[in-house]
Structure 1
Amino acid sequence: MRRLVLLAPAVALLAGCGPSTVPGTATPSPPSTSTATAAGTALPPDPQPGATEDCPYLDSEFVADSNGQHVSKVRVSADKPHPACFFYRPDGKVQLTVRVYVGDPKTATALVNKAAPVDTSNPASDPAGWKGGYQSTGDGAVYAVSKGGTAVIATTNQKQSVKARTVVKKAIAALKL
């Protein structure tokens, strides 16, 4: 009981320390979860499809065989030197995306955790030495791993994460790091 009595003034004092807004001023917005993590690591923006050209890590035939759908078009992001690759199916919708990040190890890990959160995904460690996660998503599956400052993330419109894992392993093998 004595602890409650001693804490009451502190709680009352702290209650007045929250953010306040002055009439006529803008309300501060919370930090975006898409560009920052709880640890404060700034994440690069999600890649966007750009030019129609071949993927430097994967050919269309391999993706078609691995994902089980014909590839009608490939677009790559403007990210250099490692663009993200977007593989489209004949109806014009994206069937598979592969993102490669090379840079800061904390950012690589944060990108993997954003794609396949530790709390909800299954642990992934393939290929050997790479760590991350995989899980089904609302519209397919994701397989994401990192090693040092490199992250490779594949999302597929198929529910089987093994398809994304196959693509990630091939992309990692093709990278010249």
Structure 2
Amino acid sequence: MALLAACSPSVVTGTATPSPPSASTAAGVGGLPPDPEPGATEDCPYLGSEFVAESNGQHVSKVRVSADQPHPACFFYRPDGKVQLTVRVYVGDAKTATALVNKAAPVDSSNPASDPSGWKGGYLSTDDGAVYAVAKGSAAVIATTNQKQSVKARTVVKKTISALKL
């Protein structure tokens, strides 16, 4: 009887279902893309330095971008050489997009975010600054700032979404 059950289509279907990692297991087994690293010193293709300086309240002395394509992460530096703001864009799998947002702004410790309309995620302030992270379908946008006001990160996320037409 056990042999017959093992050959039944319901068991085959049942074993195939877990193959794509869920948002929770993707984060747990390291299925997420690695955190972006600053690379080349060049302008951010979707955010201007003046906009970031105005939004974050600090002069931007340098911008570096990651090697991620087609949407590199952008790292904005302040005059003392430290990163003041980072924006990460992910477009791919919906479960991965949600998992990246949950990693940046964990559901159990962040405030719910739903701006712009149709996007969902979270925001929180820490001793080091603030994060605003949202996903919609297969896209995620995450901004971290050295400022404690999450509204600054939210402003940057909304501009990024608008500029990339996500």
TM-score interval (norm. to shorter): 0.7 to 0.9
Larger helix proportion of the pair: 2
Q: For residue 175 of structure 1, what is the amino acid of its counterpart?
A: L
Q: For residue 60 of structure 2, what is the amino acid of its counterpart?
A: V
Counterpart position of 2:46: 57
Write the distance in 2 (CA, Å) between the matches of 1:124 and 1:171: 16
Name the SS for the 2:76 alignment partner: strand
Deviation at 1:138, TM superposition (A): 2.6
Judge conservation of contact 1:41–1:106 (CA < 8 Å) in 2.
Answer: no
Task: Say whether 1:71 aligns with 2:60.
Answer: yes
Q: 1:41 to 1:49 in 2, by over 3 A?
A: closer
Q: For residue 158 of structure 1, what is the amino acid of its counterpart?
A: Q
- Within 5 Å, which residues of 2 pair with 1:83-162? 83-162=72-151
Deviation at 1:176, TM superposition (A): 4.0
The structure whose Rg is larger is 1
1:49-80: per-residue Cα shift (whole Å, max 9, x none)? 00000101100000000000000000000000
Task: Say whether 1:37 aligns with 2:18.
Answer: no
Query: What RMSD in Å do the two structures reach over aligned CA positions?
Result: 1.4
| TM superposition score normalised by structure 2 | 0.83
Judge conservation of contact 2:26–2:96 (CA < 8 Å) in 1.
Answer: no
Write the distance in 1 (CA, Å) between the matches of 2:75 and 2:65: 6
Write the distance in 1 (CA, Å) between the matches of 2:139 and 2:89: 7
Write the distance in 2 (CA, Å) between the matches of 1:68 and 1:49: 21
What number of residue pairs does the alignment pair up? 142
Instruction: For structure 2, list consecutive stretches of 5 or more residues without a partner in the other structure.
Output: 1-24
The partner residue of 1:166 within 148, 155, 163 is 155
Write the distance in 2 (CA, Å) between the matches of 1:127 and 1:36: 26
Counterpart position of 1:14: none
- % identical equivalent positions: 87
Name the SS for the 2:27 alignment partner: coil
Write the distance in 2 (CA, Å) between the matches of 1:117 and 1:138: 16
| TM superposition score normalised by structure 1 | 0.78
Deviant stretches of 4+, over 6 Å: none
